[in-house]
Amino acid sequence: MAVKVNAIVAQSGGPTAVINSSACGVIVEAMKSGKIDRVFGATNGILGVLKEDLFDISAEKAERIEALKRTPSAAIGSCRYKLKSLEESRADFERIVDVFKAHEIHYFFYAGGNDSMDTADKVNKLAADSGYELVCIGVPKTIDNDLACTDHCPGYGSVAKYVATCAMEAGRDTEALYTHDTCTILEVMGRNAGWIAAATGLAAREPKDAPHLVYMPEAAFSFDKLVADVKQVHKELGGVFIVVGEGLKDEKGNYVTADSGAFSKDSFGHVQLGGVADMLKVVIEKEVGIKARWNKLGTNQRNAMHFASLTDVNEAYMCGQAAVRAAMAGVNGKMVTLVREDGPKYKCTTGLAELSDVANGEKKVPKEYINEAGNGITEACREYIRPLIRGEAPVTIGEDGLPVYMRFERKTLEKKLTEYI
């Protein structure tokens, strides 16, 4: 490899509160490596590479780079462009390597989930096949916490802290107003894995505390069971606070829809619903006879930098840093992992896993983290999540009382290739 070459950093998939911290770790470490000339950003992830829409991050002011640690979402830009197999998307993969060649990019740092690790793996293999020197290192990122090979994922600690706080706060609302708004449902993200819903369980320090019921995709859901659970809590506490992951599944593993179980007993089958929380509301009001309402945090939960986990921010940065250090040490084709050290006190270091192992894996909430009734978490689950949400990440607040988040200046690179998409 030439003495000094360029590196590229890209962000993929759903934003998080800390994916920018990882980018910061990559950029700062790359700039001081002595082996990297310039660090480029790919505007909107792999789409930016395909479009040759790149900008010079190393030309950005140092304050801007530093402010990444206090800025949510994906400041470089993200996308959901999905590359398929090498055979089906060969032109795309070749284009990526062409763009890298054109800009003398020999290091590719890609922050994302398992699809992104799959992409990085394939780009890496194609480059190797074509004799182009390329080092591809993945940086883990997902609020869903479902990546294989890593103890947990940067992004999860912050969403966990925020949704648990939201459950606590909206739970106090239900507690105060239970004579009128008797049941509240909080819908959180997690289509296949219940990690985010599980985290809200930490808000319940004592029996009276919300949430009283937590439903995750990993525990078979039925409307009959829901109705029995709600009746029970209502009898005991007067008010009921429920957290539901957006992707509930029935005993056969099918997504719960308006046609499932008790719900289809009447004309509801024709109704297009706002989501799973709305479904639960309708069933609870009809079958339990209490008023129910719901909140859906949506994309707010994954960008809640204003109350993010300091542990998460620091670990995200550490992952970015570790990616560059691994690359400098000659590692290739790996994703940085978070490793929880043994011992009574939480300590987290980084490790490495094959990109392909991450690409093909998925980590769901294990059985031992879900209570027997399938409507809450166990102490083992609390112990796993608790250290990840500790500490409050610093936020810069402007004179106007609102957070100050950064944007890049974006010195766009001149295009050297013909248009592709």
Return the sign of the alpha-carbon dihedral for residues 353, 355, 357, 360. positive
Cross-strand partners of 242: 185, 213
What is the closest distance, in whole angstroms, from the C-beta atom of residue 35 to a copy of itself in the complex?
Answer: 29
Q: If we measure between CA atoms, which residue out of 145, 269, 278 comes closest to residue 218?
A: 145
Nearer to a copy of itself, 289 or 298 (CB): 298
Neighbours of 396 (CB within 10 A): 12
- Closer by beta carbon to a copy of itself, 126 or else 405: 405
Is 259 marked active-site? no
How far apart CA 223 and CA 232 sit, in angstroms, is: 14
Q: Please, what is the minimum distance in Å from the beta carbon of residue 392 to a copy of itself?
A: 7
Query: 74: Cβ–Cβ under 8 A, 6 or more apart, which residues?
Result: 11, 15, 19, 20, 45
For the bound state, the minimum distance from the C-beta of residue 420 to a copy of itself, rounded and expressed in Å, comes to: 15
* Least Cβ distance, residue 292 to a copy of itself (angstroms): 12
Q: With respect to a copy of itself, which residue has the nearer C-beta, 59 or 404?
A: 404
- Residue 109 — φ and ψ, nearest 5°? -105, 120
Question: 């509160």: which residue's tokens?
Answer: 17
Residue among 417, 408, 421, 420 nearest 56 (CA): 408
Out of 92, 98, 144, 209, the active site residue is 144
3-state class (DSSP) for residue 41? strand
- Helix or strand or coil: residue 177? helix
Q: Pick the closer one to a copy of itself by CB: 56 or 175.
A: 175
Question: What distance in Å separates the CA atoms of residue 407 and residue 401, rounded to the nearest whole number?
Answer: 19
Report the residue number, 118 or 218, with the smaller CB distance to a copy of itself. 118
Question: For residues 19 and 141, is the Cβ–Cβ distance under 8 A?
Answer: yes
Between residues 300 and 360, which has the closer beta carbon with respect to a copy of itself? 300
Give the CA angle between residues 182, 211, 203 to the nearest 5°: 135
- 111 SS3 class: strand
Q: Which residues of 249-276 are buried (b: 16+ CB within 10 A; e: fewer)?
A: beeeeeebebebbbbeeeebeeeeeeeb
Residue 302 CB, shortest distance to a copy of itself, in Å, is: 7
Give the catalytic positions in this structure: 144
